[in-house]
Amino acid sequence: MIAEIIAAGSEMLTPFRQDTNSLYLTGELNTLGVSVAFKTIVGDNIAHLTGAAKVAIARADIVIFSGGLGPTEDDLTREAAAAALGITLRRDPEILTALYKRFAARRMIMPPNNAHQADVLEGATILENRNGSAPGQYLDTIIDGHRKIVILLPGPPKELKGLFEEACKPLLAANLPPRHLAKRLLRMALIPESQVDARTAPIYKEYSDIETTILAGSAEIQLHFLAAKPTLEEAEARVNELTARIEDEMDDAIFSSQGESLEEVVLLMLGMRHLTLATAESCTGGLLAQRLTAIAGSSRYFLGGAVVYSDNLKTIFADVPAETISTKGPVSAETAIALAEGIRSRTAASLGISITGIAGPGPGAPGPDADKPIGLVYIALADGQQTNVTELNLTGDRERIRWWASQHALELIRRHLLSAA
């Protein structure tokens, strides 16, 4: 079965609000073996909301509305759902009485608008809202010979989550055919999306019962696999079969098969080998260290580092010869090598890694770097036996160049640790 989520509210079509409810609902539906095929955000317009509801009811087995159940004139979900279904709304006396009591308990007079919250889809089950005044609604019906489940939930996350957990999820679990989802995520760094797809598509296309999604961004490619089967064992076996074949094809290009980030994998590999790491960063300004220290327990393997932005600090903190900087430039292979070796020696780390480059938007500093292009980055890795340096010519804005440089550094460490195993 597939589901569609409709988030009602003009505020979510602005830059200031996000639809977080759909993320929560997607996760909960997945645990029931239901895939979310569509998500729609609709403003507070009855024609637009009714149109979206008609489309959703026609193409999805389960349609969940979030929001638009309040008392104001722009809360239109009940009316739109009724119009899309071709049914009437009835005013429930028990809900109406509860609303009057709620206001009376606060010594307030209930405005007439609040009575709309007692309007219920004909045939729907009322879902008690313990955290607010708007009850949810659950309708299990047949339309043109097809079973449809329509659920109305309030917009505030605390109310929506409480209602779904206490009322909707048990109803769905009791009435849906048993289906279980198995998911896997493979992650690769610094490989073009087209190259990954060219190598993996001939494999995953053989598995028409597995939903495959390729995502590219932040110097990383992600392969997501999703299978739905009557039992969890069947679903996992099917996904495992596919991922095993993909792993054979992509080999060590895959840095994670369980969803771990690249920095998590690097720290895990350092720990397995009883090694430590120190960093010396210029253009990335400590971004590499920040990514590493964001992982709990990183202090066991990451000793620390230095942000050596000025030429003087490159010498003071990492023993880079002043002559190297003045003749070759702060952004050079020679300076990168000296930074990596110097920080490793200063901290007594097993490995020292350095990043120096021009992130822009302006040119390099006067002197040897003046004519060097924006995006030129050098990364060096020293292990006490040898030092390897990589030259990169990155594109994009300052943020992109800095992120890609840190990603290249992490991948350089991972590859080094693989080769040293």
pLDDT of res. 115: 87
Distance CA 181, CA 226 (A): 7
Q: If we measure between CA atoms, which residue out of 245, 259, 239 comes closest to residue 188? A: 259
Summary count for the chain: helices (H), strands (E): 14, 17
If one counts every other C-beta atom within 10 angstroms of the C-beta of residue 92, the result is 17
Looking only at the bridges linking them, the beta strands covering 125-127 and 136-143 are antiparallel
3-state secondary structure of 269: helix
Residue 23: CB partners within 8 Å, gap ≥ 6? none
Distance CA 263, CA 353 (A): 14
Distances (CA, A) of 254 to 128, 227, 294: 48, 21, 22
Two structure tokens written together for 78: 């009940």
Distance CA 340, CA 308 (A): 12
pLDDT of res. 66: 97
pLDDT by 10-residue block (mean), the chain, 421 residues:
95 92 95 93 97 98 95 92 96 90 90 88 94 92 96 96 95 90 95 96 96 93 93 95 97 94 97 97 97 97 96 96 96 98 97 97 80 96 97 96 98 95 69
pTM: 0.77
Q: Which helix (H) or strand (E) holds 412?
A: helix 398-419
pLDDT of res. 113: 83
Distance CA 346, CA 314 (A): 12
3-state secondary structure of 394: coil
3-state secondary structure of 356: strand
Angle at 168 between CA 163 and CA 170, to 5 degrees: 120
pLDDT of res. 370: 85
pLDDT of res. 191: 94
E-state strands within 253-301 = 254-256, 277-281
Distance CA 164, CA 156 (A): 12
Residues linked to residue 138 through DSSP beta bridges, in sequence order? 125, 151
If one counts every other C-beta atom within 10 angstroms of the C-beta of residue 411, the result is 23
3-state secondary structure of 375: coil
If one counts every other C-beta atom within 10 angstroms of the C-beta of residue 227, the result is 23
Report whether 336 contacts 283 (CB < 8 A). no
Domains and CATH numbers, the chain: 2-175 (3.40.980.10), 180-256 (3.30.70.2860), 262-419 (3.90.950.20)
Peptide bond into 361 cis (omega under 30): yes
Distance CA 64, CA 164 (A): 10
